[in-house]
A and B are shown apart, each in its own frame.
Chain A
Amino acid sequence: MKIVLNGETREIKALTLAEMLVECGFSGRVATAVNEEFVPSSLRIAHELVDGDRVEVVAPMQGG
């Protein structure tokens, strides 16, 4: 299916948010949102993605 990952369209095989993170090479501390809603890490395994989902994966960054 196609999703929009951090603003870029991606074709993925993964069915869940957790699988997508592995497939796309994310590791370490990240937080996730799907269609502008926060998805806690504990719910990623159960969170099934659907075609066209907008997924955000964010990590620690410099800030003021």
Chain B
Amino acid sequence: MKTFYGTDLPNPLMLGTAQYPSPAILEQAFRESEAGVATVSLRRESGAGQTFWQMIRDLGVLVLPNTAGCHTVKEAVTTAHMAREVFDTKWIKLELIGHTDSLQPDVFQLVEAARILTEDGFQVFPYTTDDLIVGERLLAAGCEVLMPWGAPIGSGRGLNNEYALRAMRAEFPGVPLVIDAGIGLPSHAARAMELGYDAVLLNTAVARAGDPPAMARAMMQATLAGQLAHQADPIEARDMAEASTPVIGKAFLS
């Protein structure tokens, strides 16, 4: 498994911390999933922030703060600075939202913000589309990880454009690639890993499931299965049958 800015992950699952029915279920989901990375955010302090932070610390996971909801470079860069101070990490999941309905990244602002933050010592995890040229620009801006979307955030549609994601994997063989957003089922997560992706980042699929801890465990197992399958060099699909049982030696009985 590739490293993320020099850091090894225990398994290929990054898990979000939002939308769980309760903090206790969130905690249980993390324990079940054994996810090594938790995404978090910054919001106006209303009293709940410190308890939440203590719980995340107790999980003993790496923290990946996001810039969720930011629509401009300035907003995202300021949020990143605040996150670096609060969470004491150089990691930032850079989100620059360009479209209200699809939450599609504004890739032009994304590249600009990524360059500014990288120059400022951040280690940027850009939430991007599956566009290869944008990927190249992000790498040129200093990113060492790319996080293309599988489908719009929270949609649970899986991998909308597998062709593009496959092309991205082929184009950037040495770069840690994470499918971020759109995963709805363990089969989607497994598929991402079968394509050779290095990790999967998801939130809604677990948090909104009827049994979040069970789904968290299913997602972790799916990512591991997909990863192992990719390493095991799967067979190519074919149109015609090919007998697996030897034909030679079959008894003549008709």
Whether B85 pairs with A31 at a CB distance below 8 angstroms is yes
Which B residues form the contact surface with A (CB < 8 A)? 16-20, 26, 39-46, 48-50, 52-53, 56, 65-66, 68, 74, 78, 81-83, 85-87, 153-154, 203-204
Q: Evaluate whether A59 and B153 lie within 8 angstroms (CB atoms) in the complex, with A6-B45, A64-B39 already known.
A: no
* Chain B residue with Cβ nearest A40: B85
Cβ 8 A contact of B50, one of A29, A33, A58: A29
Knowing that A37-B78, A63-B41 are A-B contacts, what are 14 other residue pairs whose CB atoms are under 8 Å apart, sorted by A's residue number?
A29-B49, A29-B53, A30-B45, A31-B81, A32-B82, A33-B82, A36-B74, A36-B78, A38-B78, A59-B43, A59-B53, A60-B50, A60-B86, A61-B48
Q: Please report the C-alpha to C-alpha distance between residue A33 and residue B16 in the assembled complex, in whole angstroms.
A: 25
A-B contacts, 28 of them at CB < 8 A, read A28-B53, A29-B53, A29-B86, A30-B86, A31-B81, A31-B82, A31-B85, A36-B74, A36-B78, A37-B78, A38-B81, A40-B81, A57-B44, A58-B49, A58-B82, A59-B43, A59-B46, A59-B50, A59-B86, A61-B40, A61-B41, A61-B48, A61-B52, A63-B39, A63-B41, A64-B153, A64-B203, A64-B204
Q: Evaluate whether A60 and B68 lie within 8 angstroms (CB atoms) in the complex, with A7-B44, A38-B78, A38-B82 already known.
A: no
Min CB–CB distance B174 → chain A (angstroms) = 28
Q: Please report the C-alpha to C-alpha distance between residue A15 and residue B246 in the assembled complex, in whole angstroms.
A: 87
Label chain B's interface by main secondary structure.
Answer: mixed
* Chain B residue with Cβ nearest A42: B85
Whether B17 pairs with A63 at a CB distance below 8 angstroms is yes
Whether A41 pairs with B85 at a CB distance below 8 angstroms is yes
Whether B86 pairs with A63 at a CB distance below 8 angstroms is no
Whether A58 pairs with B78 at a CB distance below 8 angstroms is no
Whether A62 pairs with B19 at a CB distance below 8 angstroms is yes
* Chain B residue with Cβ nearest A56: B44
Cβ 8 A contact of A58, one of B45, B66, B154: B45
Whether A60 pairs with B81 at a CB distance below 8 angstroms is no
Q: Please report the C-alpha to C-alpha distance between residue A58 and residue B53 in the assembled complex, in whole angstroms.
A: 12
Min CB–CB distance A30 → chain B (angstroms) = 5
Chain B residues near A63: list those with CB within 8 A.
16-18, 39-41, 65-66, 68
Whether A58 pairs with B17 at a CB distance below 8 angstroms is no
Q: Please report the C-alpha to C-alpha distance between residue A6 and residue B43 in the assembled complex, in whole angstroms.
A: 10
Whether B56 pairs with A60 at a CB distance below 8 angstroms is yes
* Closest A-B pairs by Cβ, 3 of them: A59-B49, A63-B41, A64-B16
Q: Evaluate whether A64 and B43 lie within 8 angstroms (CB atoms) in the complex, with A29-B50, A38-B78 already known.
A: no
Whether B53 pairs with A60 at a CB distance below 8 angstroms is yes
Q: Evaluate whether A60 and B87 lie within 8 angstroms (CB atoms) in the complex, with A29-B49, A29-B50 already known.
A: yes
